[in-house]
Amino acid sequence: MKFLYAAYAATWLIHGSYILYLFSRFRRLREEERELDQSSAK
């Protein structure tokens, strides 16, 4: 059973890491957009 649990956990770890990576990329993009808007407004 430990191999089965390890395989399922590894699958979710890989997908979860990728989802977190996408979230961080979106957050960085929003920050850059905000910075650009602020510098354009000056």
Partner 1 sequence: MRLNLLIFSFVTVLLLGYGFCQAMYIAPTEQTMGDVQRIFYYHLPSAWICFAMFMVNFFASIWYLIRRTAGADALAQSAAEVGVVFCSVVLVSGPLWAKPIWGIWWTWDVRLTSTLVLWLIYVSYLILRRYSPDGTVEAAVLAIFGFLDVPLVYMAIRWFRTQHPQPVIGGGRGSGLDHHMWIAVLWNLAAFLALGILLIWQRYRLAMQEKKLEAAHAEKAISMEARPAR
Residues that bind partner 1 (CB under 8 A): 1, 3-4, 6-8, 10-11, 14-15, 18-19, 22, 25-26, 29, 32-33, 36, 39-40
Q: How far is the CB of 39 from partner 1 (least distance, A)?
A: 8
Q: How far is the CB of 33 from partner 1 (least distance, A)?
A: 6
Cα 5 to Cα 7: distance, rounded to the nearest angstrom: 5
- Pick left, alpha or beta for residue 11 (phi over 0 → left; psi -120 to 50 → alpha; otherwise beta): alpha
Q: How far is the CB of 18 from partner 1 (least distance, A)?
A: 5
* Tokens of residue 13, six digits: 């770890």
* Tokens of residue 38, six digits: 């602020």
